[in-house]
Amino acid sequence: MADREKILNILFSAIDDFNEIRPGEAPISKSKDTILFGSGGVLDSMGLVTFIVTSEQKIAEETGISITLADERAMSLRNSPFRTVGTLADYIHMLMAEQE
Amino acid sequence: MPVEFLLKRFQEAGTAPAMIWKDRVFHYHELLERIRYWQNRLEEEVAPGTVTVLEGDFSPESVALMLALISRQCVIVPLTAAVESKKKEFAEISEAQVSFVLDARDHAKIQQLAGRGSHHLYQELRSRRHAGLVLFSSGTTGKSKAILHDMEHLLEKYKRRRHDFTTLAFLLFDHIAGVDTLFYCLSNKSCLVTLTDRSPDSVCRAVEKYRVEVLPVSATFLNLLLYSEAYRNYDLSSLKYIAYGSEVMLQSTLERCARLFPGVTILQKYGTTEVGTLRSKSKSSDSLWVKLGGEGFETRVVDGILQIKAHSAMMGYLNAPSPFTEDGWFITGDTVEQKGEYYRIHGRACDMINVGGEKVFPAEVEDFIQTLDNVADVVVYGEKNSIMGNIVCADISLVRQEEPKQALLRIKRACFNNLQPWKVPVKVRIVDGISLNERFKKMRKKICDSSPDSMMQGNLDG
């Protein structure tokens, strides 16, 4: 299974792609503390959707595992998994562990 | 007899060419002879009111048989190779009793079928002593709907003489637009040029060889024509009109066609299998605004959707509830914008993508992507998304080889820079080719079931 470090690297690679397709926008910085969505976040709703899909595709490319990040379960969690790059990495880690 | 006016015109036309089939010319007097031959045979072999499959494509014999079957007050169910996998299902739904299958040499084989042709709409048609026509909707989802027309109502409008133009039979024999092309040509003593395949190259070759004046095609075919560059290799100077419809035309394609064929009038046609042909008039060759209506048709817009009331409307579906409103209007399912007398058709309400409450018509996104470098074709569709309700997705085929990752980044960046945020495709795939259905329409993944089948008309009834 991919460890947390590897997942963070995959997300950083997704961030690279994401920044590249949005020239002129404030780039997301490659740090686990970067706030993605919500108060102080760098993404608006379309940005979030695009980043999630980019991340899903990156995960599938790098690990061959297909996961859905945004679904009812993600919505129902008390702490949003999309708050920071770090919380997203944790959420992906958990989803992948379940798939095994 | 409903075809009497046509037979009279064939007699007048005499030695004028009626059809080009497999590079052979068939004249009106020959067509007339074949109709007489079949009328005599049907009198012996097929009872009036019989539900009859007519399997073939545009050919002298299929046309002669069709006219003879109409005069015998039969119900005709035209089928072509394009619906090969559905032939059995269509014969069953239509309760067909007899079939005529035309082979590659245009020889007909008659066969008895198991259907009983007892549907109550057939009974009504028989009590009117009218012929009928059954066409199937080409919806990409769900079961095909069988649409029954009273042939007498359908033929009414061809009694008025209009222009005589050599026309290409690009649209299919079992589609209302193809049937419309056929009767428009025949009623004006024109020559119908048939095709054995519908590739851009074959189409251009036929236009050059037979000096075709009217080219009725689908919007997708025009894209294919542009990207194949087939038009460069042939003399298309005989063309006077290009009529397009059946799906939403991209402004970029239309403008390119208008530039490439400056002497050609480009017309948008509109109709549905259920109500038949509307007369139409495009504002100009490079305009998507079109006037719709004509004798026997009324139009109105309710909740942004076009509704049509037509004298030539179908009698009903054989296998589905009536789609008409209580006061007899047909809800087309096409979203339109209205400016005075003109409409702009945005596409199926069903194809519309609702992204977080913002409406996105696939055509507007396709229109932009189509203008980007190295894009051969694009189809845009919606996909369910738990955050925004739906997201925009695009499948794109390329003209020449390009590293997929680079192509994706380039295209996504261009979309981000030029489209409103909710219109930017979130998922983009590079694909080998865009799937087209048998009618040269793009196959679009649907979020909802498709409703009525809007289509194009091939004639110049405008």
B54 forms bridges with which residues in the sheet?
Answer: B78, B100
Give the best residue of A19, A21, A45, A48 to mutate against chain B (max B CB count within 10 A). A21
Q: B382 phi and psi, to 5 degrees?
A: -100, 155
> What is the pLDDT, as a whole number, of residue B439?
62
> What is the pLDDT, as a whole number, of residue B449?
41
What percent of chain B clears pLDDT 90, i.e. is strictly above it? 65
Answer whether B4-136 and B353-430 agree in fold.
Answer: no
C-beta atoms of A49 and B421 within 8 A: no
When CB atoms are compared, the residue of A17, A22, A45 closest to B388 is A45
* Cα of B424 to nearest chain A Cα, Å: 9
How high is the mean pLDDT of chain B?
A: 89
Distance CA B397, CA B155 (A): 42
Nearest chain B Cα to A57, which residue?
Answer: B427
Residues of A with CB under 8 A from a CB of B: 17, 20-24, 44-50, 52-53, 57, 70-72, 74-75
Nearest chain B Cα to A71, which residue?
Answer: B386
Nearest chain B Cα to A21, which residue?
Answer: B413
C-beta atoms of B388 and A74 within 8 A: no
Nearest chain B Cα to A48, which residue?
Answer: B387
C-beta atoms of A23 and B386 within 8 A: no
User: Domain limits of chain B?
Assistant: 4-136, 353-430
Instruction: Give the number of domains in chain A.
Output: 1
Q: Residue B441: which of B4, B117, B226, B140 has the closest Cα? A: B140
C-beta atoms of A71 and B417 within 8 A: no
Give the best residue of B358, B416, B419 to mutate against chain A (max A CB count within 10 A). B416
B394 vs B256: which has the higher pLDDT: B394
C-beta atoms of B385 and A46 within 8 A: no
Q: Is the pLDDT of residue B456 over 80?
A: no
Expressed as residue numbers, the domain containing A68 is 4-22+31-99
Q: What CATH number is associated with residue A72?
A: 1.10.1200
B230 vs B247: which has the higher pLDDT: B230
B111 forms bridges with which residues in the sheet?
Answer: B99
pLDDT digits (tens, 9 = 90+) for A30-53: 999 999 987 788 888 888 899 999
B187-214: b or e for each residue (b if 16 or more CB lie within 10 Å)?
bbbbbbbbbeebebeebbebbbebebbb
C-beta atoms of A23 and B426 within 8 A: no
Distance CA B322, CA B269 (A): 25
Nearest chain B Cα to A82, which residue?
Answer: B387
CB B337 within 8 A of CB B344: yes
User: What is the enclosing helix (H) or strand (E) of B90?
Assistant: helix B87-93
Nearest chain B Cα to A19, which residue?
Answer: B413
C-beta atoms of B424 and A53 within 8 A: no
B4-136 to CATH, choices 3.40.630.10, 3.90.550.10, 3.40.109.40, 3.40.50.980 = 3.40.50.980
* Cα of B425 to nearest chain A Cα, Å: 9
pLDDT digits (tens, 9 = 90+) for B48-70: 999 999 999 999 999 999 999 99
C-beta atoms of B387 and A49 within 8 A: yes
Cα–Cα distances in angstroms (integers) from residue B359 to residues B107, B251, B339, B345, B443, in the given order: 52, 19, 20, 15, 20
* Cα of A58 to nearest chain B Cα, Å: 12
Single pTM value for the model: 0.76
C-beta atoms of A71 and B388 within 8 A: no
Q: Which residue has the tokens 């074709």?
A: B377
Q: How confident is the model at residue B195 (pLDDT cuts 50, 70, 90)?
A: very high
C-beta atoms of B356 and A45 within 8 A: yes
When CB atoms are compared, the residue of B412, B421, B427 closest to A46 is B421
CATH of domain B353-430: 3.30.300.30
> What is the pLDDT, as a whole number, of residue B451?
39
Reported ipTM? 0.91
Spell out which residues of chain A touch residue B421, defining contact as CB-CB under 8 Å. Answer: 44, 46-47
Contacts of B151 (CB under 8 A, 6+ apart): B2, B70, B76, B130, B131, B132, B133
> What is the pLDDT, as a whole number, of residue B226?
80
Q: Is the pLDDT of residue B433 over 50?
A: yes
Spell out which residues of chain B touch residue A14, defining contact as CB-CB under 8 Å. Answer: none
User: What is the Cα B138 distance to its own chain's centre?
Assistant: 10
Contacts of B160 (CB under 8 A, 6+ apart): none
B432 vs B209: which has the higher pLDDT: B209
B77 forms bridges with which residues in the sheet?
Answer: B53
pLDDT digits (tens, 9 = 90+) for B295-329: 889 999 999 999 999 988 999 999 998 889 999 99
C-beta atoms of B409 and A20 within 8 A: yes
Residues of chain A with pLDDT under 70: 1-2
Interface A:B, Cβ pairs < 8 A: 45
